[in-house]
Chain A
Amino acid sequence: MDGKNKILIIVAAFILLIILGILSVRKPDIGYQLTPREALDNALSLVDEVFPEDIVYALEDSASGYQLIDLRTPYDFLQGHIRKAVNIPSSVLLQEDNLLFLQKLDKDSVTIVLYGNNQSQANLPWMLLKQIGIENVKVLLGGYDYIKGILIDPYAVEDLPNYLVEEPAFDFASLLEINTSASGESPDNHQPEMIMPVRKKKSTAAEGGC
């Protein structure tokens, strides 16, 4: 009887240890601090959009309270990045040490500016961090491609893209009219172009096969 009890106690202690171990390993809970409605109102207010020109001035002033976060892959980061930026790829944004780093910056009222190659790459990470309660997080318009154009490569031949990407690049309705009138006048012009190259390729392939 004593032996059986001993075994039971040992097993119970063992299970308790396992449970405690799992509990201590479990990540700290990250919860939402903003409701979807609050997050939407914040996004609509556009207060967290940082213009590329502002970042250029902030870079010249060493005491500015900005911390740039590069959300691209480490490979892209090594190819070139904005000065003083820290690389946290967006896929590991919520890893414990990264999150602690961001939370500490936030507590020290440092403005965190997220950027990717373009605004879109930083948009969703920004929305996410905002919703889990990091208040001083902002998003860079234009992204690295634009900054590279004005700072690193100012004499490039290519025109800078418009960083206000949500503005319509075309007058869509008139584009439709152009298409309609163009194909209405000379419908033959378009069709040979699209059929001809296909025809050539197929005939050569058939010869080679036999």
Chain B
Amino acid sequence: MVLAILLSAGMFLFEEPDNASEISPENLLLAFSDDSHYWSTDLVADKIIKQDPALLLIDVRNPDEYLDFSLPGALNIPLENILDPEWEDYFSAEDYDIVFFSNDEIYADQAWILLQRQDFKNLRVMKGGLNHWAVTILQPPIPKQSDPEEAFALYSFRMAARQYFGGGSIDAAPASQPEKIEITRKKKSTAAEGGC
């Protein structure tokens, strides 16, 4: 009897009157201190090219900048409107990977933390923003001869992505590209057969 009363009293004391739709400041700190909410420009480019249906890009810059240039398929929600109730349905649909981006990552991060606090799921930020997009995807640096093989793989991915995002360049020379790739493939296979 005494035990039951004590236990119920204990349960009552433990009950916290917190707002159920918000995560605690400690959990919010945990959510960003390991940088796991950042997606690289390469990952975002890959998902756009593969037309990932779960990808939802959100450009938090102002409409002028958005109209001048943005990522394909991106939705424009300026930072000052990010908390407007009309967008809540987008954020609460848990099937989407929502990726915020701006010119750097400052404004995108600010949108992220305010929505992450409200416990929306699968929110990401494109690391480095469009300025980093420009130097990785639109103008990828050529790797040095001494760089590891991964650097060359990344470079060829970025060059392909650059063609994809470059607009007219895909139509400019569509016929010549597949031929060249076939030739290199044949050479590799014959070399391997001869060796073994």
Contacts and interface: CB of A to CB of B under 8 A. Distances in A.
A124 B107 CA distance: 10
B92 interface: no
Given A165-B103, A166-B104, A191-B180, A15 B166 contact: no
Contacts, number: 171
B53 interface: no
A119 B181 CA distance: 43
B102 A124 contact: no
Nearest to B158: A194
Contact of A93 (B6, B29, B138): B29
A11 B3 CA distance: 8
A100 interface: no
Given A40-B110, A165-B103, A172-B68, A179 B142 contact: no
Contacts of A191: 176-177, 180
Nearest to B191: A206
Interface in B1-50: 2-3, 6-7, 9-10, 13, 16, 22, 24-26, 28-29, 32-33
Contacts of A15: 3, 6-7, 10
Interface residues of B, number: 72
Contacts of A123: 105-106, 109-110
A210 B196 CA distance: 7
Contact of B187 (A23, A194, A197, A199): A199
B80 A40 contact: yes
Contacts of A150: none
B82 A40 contact: yes
A195 interface: yes
Nearest to B159: A194
Contacts of B114: 36, 39-40, 127
Given A19-B10, A176-B167, A183-B172, A32 B25 contact: yes
A44 B79 contact: yes
A54 interface: no
Given A179-B169, A180-B167, A206-B191, A131 B25 contact: yes
B117 interface: yes
Contacts of B184: 195, 198-199
Interface string B170-191: 0011001100110010011001
A116 to B, nearest CB: 12
Contacts of B149: 201
Nearest to B140: A194
12 contacts: A12-B6, A15-B3, A40-B114, A127-B113, A127-B114, A172-B68, A172-B69, A179-B169, A184-B169, A190-B159, A191-B176, A194-B155
Given A123-B105, A125-B29, A172-B68, 18 more contacts: A31-B25, A32-B117, A40-B83, A40-B110, A93-B29, A123-B106, A124-B109, A124-B113, A166-B102, A167-B103, A175-B138, A175-B139, A176-B165, A195-B156, A195-B180, A197-B145, A201-B149, A210-B196
